[in-house]
Amino acid sequence: MLFAALGLSGALLVGCGDDGDDQASNDSQSQSSSQQSESAPTQTESSSGGAASDTQSTASSGNSGDDDSAANGEPVNLIFGTGGTGGSYYPIGGALKSVFEQSDLVDGVQVVSTGASVQNINNITDGLNQVAIVMSDVGYDAVKGQNQFDGQPADIRTIAGMYPNVVQVVATADSGIHSIADLAGKRVGVGKVGSGVEQSAAKVLESAGLSYDDLAQVSHTGYADSVTEMGNGNLDAAFFTSGVPNSSITGLMQSTDVTFVPVDGDVASTLLEKYPYYENYEIPAGAPERYNLGDAVDTVAIRNIMIVGSDMRDDVAEDLAKRFHDYLESGNVSVGALKQFDPDSMDQNLVVPLHPGAKAYYETLSSNAGNAGDEADVSEATASKASNEQAATTESDGAEADRAKQTSAETPEDNVEATGDSGTSGSSESQH
């Protein structure tokens, strides 16, 4: 009976252990299933950008840490956060996927469609993305821990400055609007609530001493609706913050006479002083690919930047910067927005600090440019010296020839010998 009792006790313990393992397994499977369900839309959205990979392992492999892959410099996987499929960020990510995957340090790039700037920064902070494109104003707020990121500064770094999102204010030709001040008492589209367009509109109005209360009507419409309302005569003007050209504006111009309202003078100066992420921008005149305007329009712009987490390995960040720069210089750029800025400005006027790896690459570029300049100076100096020597030789030959001419009138035969000797002498002196 004692043995029987012991055997029964052992059987019960084994049963409890199985139940516990099953529960843990079920919880794990449930959690895994939930994670897969949550990540499925992202993977679906990024199907054109490449095969999906495990987010958690991808995140750790892209960051510098204590894991073996980082220590050994093994290739990393990157999840590239972009924006909506209808914007510019997503096709840029698609174009750079193959560029970055040519690196020996990058095993694969997964391009995902996101809610753009704010979500991209949050995803990098959470380790869900390793690379992303954002607007400078959102990036500035993130590193300062203000506005949407109040009290939660993001530890992000810049890989490269990119093309500008230009503040474009367009009014109907018969509205009488020729300056930002003229928007007072008018019906104005300011962009969707909370959008980057609306933020720019509010700041521009503020810099002109205006607020929404000074407008006859404030319309929180997106690009398409603003164009429709202007075409129907229900709006006098609208704000657009995008690359140039904006297809909605181009479409409006085909059916409606419009005026581009400048953001210049004191308004621009106030903006640039108060908000360091703004920069001056000119929409040129006579450029068919940029509205083909009769007169240039001065306005302001907010630059887009490519960011990563501060914990990305230096060698990976440096190679990403290099490959992006080389791609822009290759002449094979397929996305129009990437043709709208100078590759040499990628490390300039940034409000989010450069990643040390990217900074190292740009310093190499500057050093190479300096060396090339020095070589050019040496080459120019050498050419100048040779030219001066040739000039001296010619002058010497000319002087001897003049003396030879004087001799020739008296003793023609001696002229040849004298000229020959003097020529040799002159050449010898020049060589010395």
For the segment 9-22, the average pLDDT, to the nearest whole number, is: 36
Read off the pLDDT of residues 89-113 as tens digits, 9 standing for 90 and up.
Answer: 999 999 999 999 999 999 999 999 9
Parse the chain into domains and list their residue ranges: 1-34, 372-431
- Tell me how many degrees the CA angle 276-277-278 measures, rounded to the nearest 5: 90
Q: What share of the chain has pLDDT > 90, as a percent?
A: 60
Query: Amino acid identity of 297?
Result: V
pLDDT at 7 over 80: no
* pLDDT tens track for 40-64: 334 333 333 333 333 333 444 455 4
Global pTM value: 0.68
Give the chain's mean pLDDT: 78
- Between 94 and 366, the more confident residue is 94
The single residue listed with the structure tokens 């704010």 is 118
| DSSP secondary structure letter of residue 346 | T
Parallel, antiparallel or unpaired: strands 237-242 and 187-189:
parallel
Q: Of all residues in the chain, what percent carry a pLDDT higher than 70? A: 69
- Let me know: does 423 contact 397? Beta carbons within 8 Å: yes
pLDDT, residue 97, reads 98
